[in-house]
Structure 1
């Protein structure tokens, strides 16, 4: 079977070797006589998977000892509610940077819970640029400063971080987590839906500093309370067993291939190939994003008109390149080039882009 070249934004590409290992063990996991997805989350078999996944996240990301790692069902969108519910009770205020679709969604939920101060809004530049991080300051008394590291739809990515002093940064890293090293000293909490670089959809990874846990709303219901998940080591309720298992296999592969520095090197190489073709196309392919903040994960581009873009997507699909249509809210085209997408697939895409331009010019 020929595996398609997968440029979908999420759920996204997984390593073929991981899919094959899952396939091998799907019916009978490691000789246990059961599939892991029908095995108790309290079993020894799953217990080892869970512990291994936790340990790999800590090792690969270099998570300091004063941070807890949580696996919470529901994805990053649930975190849009959990964060303000835990940290905005009692009339507290937080700060937000609005840099695209996902930061705006997180903001919309937060302001239903408490007081939100917008310290930056990229509306005037159609969310195609980011401010100099050194110009951003947290509001006095703010409980947290929220930032979205990479906007999946808009193709815009923070390359550096603001200094917010004693105000902890909470960062949504859903679409670029595990794509580069993380300076944990900059953050009070990071969170990410698993379905981009980590594994299948179904849960979020939350990495939260110990002192943040002490600031959680004491009247929070159990599942929405970060302290409960931390105390129960993410086994308060039945976790998304299959998704965590698949993530552990992805993490093992990343570790074997050299960790985050090697991942970052490959990601920059892949994104540069596409951006170079765009920049040398004499305007045939246009990126709306300022060069300094172009995403290494989600490359967005447009062409002269919608009909040409539709033809591009259709011809690419005929060559088994799928997922290149831009998000419905912005149109255009988008190539999501997450960690697990092979370099050879990106090479095939840029060769097709060059061929398509030549045929249509």
Structure 2
């Protein structure tokens, strides 16, 4: 099997052992006589899968007992609206660090006043604002932990403060250790590190779940989803199953400490290669805000970028084109991207720079 090195920003590369296990069980899951894809979400087999997934995710993220873990649909984009729908009564504080933050702000403004506490938009989102004091007189504060389009990441999170703190971790959840108790809500579309597209992980303090808006249509009420254990409606059963396999894979690899070490090793190698050829590869993010998930850079001309992308396709590299809104090159190196893949890419980058300088 000739698998490419998949650098796509999402849906993204998944761990090969997880795909192999899912393949092995695809037609007949543990002698159930059917695939997980065909399984009723009310069946004993799926209820076991759901509980095992929650347990594995809780273990790897060190989630305390006072948090609900929900598996919802609609992606993080639906949460942009559902969170303010439930919790924005007067005003909320948002930190604007990129396109996804802007979309979250846009949705929140439909339900109340939004205070943009800090923004890096004036420099085209090339940095994460530092030394931020989150307001304590708002219903909640909101940040986006990693920015896939602009290649920036919160390397140290702001402290929660007096108001609840929500974080969109779609593109770097399960990539590093963090104290989940610093946040009241952690949510993520799974299609980067946590699983395939189609399921959204929402981790919420139980006391906040209890305070959520019960005057909304049922599908937008967190309390209903928590009380029904993510089975109020038919959940994405196969995606939840894969989230569980990935969480178990992370634990078998040594947990988040090992995963984070690998991710830093990959990032440091790639950034070193760029910095040593900074006249050819120009990073778009400031050094103190560089992402270890999505590395973005430009070449001296768009013609060279086009040539770079054409040649990478002949090397079994895929998904290196920058987001359509900014252009350039983007290297997404989520958990399942091997160090070998980054080593091969950086060797290509060295050769390409030498031949085209």
Q: After superposition, give the CA deviation of every residue in 1:124-157 in whole Å (9 maximum; x if it has no partner).
A: 111111221x3322152x0100000001111000
1:318 shift after superposition: 1.0
1:16 aligns with 2:33: no
1:72/1:204 contact within 8 Å kept: yes
SS at match of 1:95: strand
1:130 matched to which residue of 2? 128
Inter-CA distance 23–250: structure 2 relative to 1 (3 Å threshold) = same
User: Is 2:121 aligned against 1:120?
Assistant: no
Which runs of structure 2 are paired with 1:83-232 in the superposition (5 Å)?
A: 83-89=83-89, 92-132=90-130, 134-140=131-137, 142-232=138-228
Contact 1:149–1:173 (CA under 8 A) maintained in structure 2: yes
1:4-38 Cα shifts (integer Å, max 9, x gaps): 00000000000112112222221111222211101
Provide the residue aligned with 1:50 in structure 2: 50
Deviation at 1:253, TM superposition (A): 0.8
CA deviation after TM superposition for structure 1 residue 282, in Å = 3.7
User: What pairs up with 1:247-266 in 2 under 5 angstroms?
Assistant: 247-266=243-262
Alignment partner of 1:358 out of 344, 354, 357 = 354
TM-score by length of 1: 0.97
CA drift of 1:185 comes to 2.5
CA offset digits 1:43-90 (Å, max 9, x no partner): 11111111100001110000011111111111111101110100114x
Give yes or no for contact 2:136–2:162 (8 Å, CA) kept in 1.
no
The answer for unaligned runs of 5 or more in structure 2 is none
Cα deviation code 1:72-129 (max 9, x no counterpart): 111111101110100114xx11000000011001111110121111111212111111
* Contact kept? 1:138, 1:164, Cα under 8 Å: no
How many angstroms apart in 1 are the aligned matches of 2:50 and 2:245? 11
The residue correspondences of 1:262-301 to structure 2 (distance < 5 A) are 262-301=258-297
CA distance in 1, matches of 2:122, 2:167: 23
Write out the 4+ residue segments of structure 1 that deviate beyond 6 Å after TM superposition.
none
**What's the secondary structure of 1:304's corresponding residue?**
coil
State the secondary structure of the residue aligned to 1:244: helix
Task: Give the Cα separation in 1 of the matches to 2:67 and 2:220.
Answer: 18
Q: Secondary structure at the match of 1:113?
A: coil
Aligned Cα root-mean-square deviation (Å): 1.0
Q: Distance in 2 between matches of 1:14 and 1:161?
A: 27
Shift of 1:215: 2.3
Distance 2:132 2:326 in 1: 28
Shift of 1:214: 2.5
Give 1:38's aligned residue.
38
User: 1:164, CA displacement in angstroms?
Assistant: 4.1
Matched, 1:312 2:270: no
| Cα distance in 2, alignment partners of residues 212 and 37 from structure 1 | 33
Q: How far off its partner does 1:163 sit?
A: 2.8
- How many aligned positions are there? 357
* Distance (whole Å) between structure 2 residues aligned to residue 165 and residue 36 of structure 1: 43
Tell which deviates more after alignment, 206-215 or 59-68. 206-215
Q: 2:322 aligns with which of 319, 326, 346?
A: 326
Secondary structure at the aligned position of 1:353 is classed as helix
Q: Is the 8 A contact 1:96 1:120 kept in 2?
A: yes
Please identify, of 169-178 and 205-214, the stretch whose mean Cα deviation from structure 2 is larger. Answer: 205-214
Instruction: Check conservation: 1:197, 1:339, Cα contact below 8 A.
Output: yes
Match of 2:12, SS state, is coil
What SS class does the counterpart of residue 247 from structure 2 fall into? helix
Question: Equivalents in 1 of 2:68, 2:232: separation in Å?
Answer: 15
Partner-residue secondary structure (3-state), 1:207:
strand
